Amino acid sequence: MDKTSYTNLAKAWEYAEDHAFSRQASFLNVMRRQAEEAGFPQGSAAQAELLATLVQLTGATSVIAVGTGSLVETLQLVSGLRNAGQLTAVDSSAQGIGLIRGAFAKLSDYTATKLRAVNAPAGTFLPRLNGDDYDLIVVAGDADNYAATFDQAPRLLRGHGAVVFTDVLALETAGANGGVLNPADRGDKAVAMREFIDVVESDERFDSTLTPSGTGLLVAVKR
């Protein structure tokens, strides 16, 4: 593709993001603002909307969200569950877990989706869960969440279940200098994601694809 094509793709990303943001429910707008005021920057509205669609596409009824400081994305997973199923939220930050618990309390009259919220590192809590019991796992936040979750994904997921890693281009991290796209960015997450993408794509237990949605989605489906 030529330079004009890449310019148009950048404009397409901006259009899709603005469009998704305009469609975002007023409740999500409020939650986005509250999370950002609490010091948890929120990511792409289009990426969050896609996650809700993935819940429906996979027919998921049991979802794990790791890194609930990405509150809008976590709430879109609840939306995708369509008033049913269970969301297991895992976050090493007590404040992050507090955000999802507070938001879920406001939804209690409108959803029968069950919430299990756990304040613990992914590498500590996920090994305690029953295997072959989950349809979809979504990972956000600190670089440590990614490898720890992928280690457990083959055991936790049912056949053809999926694990989705958000922000794999490491563009959301505070102080990011171009993330994975910029070889000069030697931040913890950028360095970790460069290696992590290769690890997931080379794992023969999964079929995977890297997409530019939001700040980069890596989707891996268990064979």
User: What is the pLDDT confidence band of residue 70, given thresholds at 50, 70 and 90?
Assistant: very high
Backbone phi, then psi, for 211, in 5-degree steps?
-125, 155
pLDDT at 200: 98
3-state secondary structure of 21: helix
The residue segments making up the domain with residue 200 are: 3-222
User: CB within 8 A of 99, min separation 6: which ones?
Assistant: 34, 35, 38, 40, 68, 69, 71
Average pLDDT over residues 176-189: 94
How many domains is the chain built from? 1
Residue 1 has pLDDT above 80, yes or no: no
CATH number for 113? 3.40.50.150
Residue 92: what pLDDT?
A: 94
Q: What pLDDT was estimated at residue 215?
A: 95
Beta partners for residue 151, in sequence order: none
List, for residues 2-54, the tens digit of each pLDDT value.
778 889 999 999 999 999 999 999 999 999 999 999 999 999 999 999 999 99
Residues whose CB is less than 8 angstroms from the CB of residue 25 and which lie 6 or more positions away in sequence, other chains included: none
Structure tokens at 29: 């707008």
Tell me the C-alpha distance between 94 and 87, whole Å.
Answer: 17
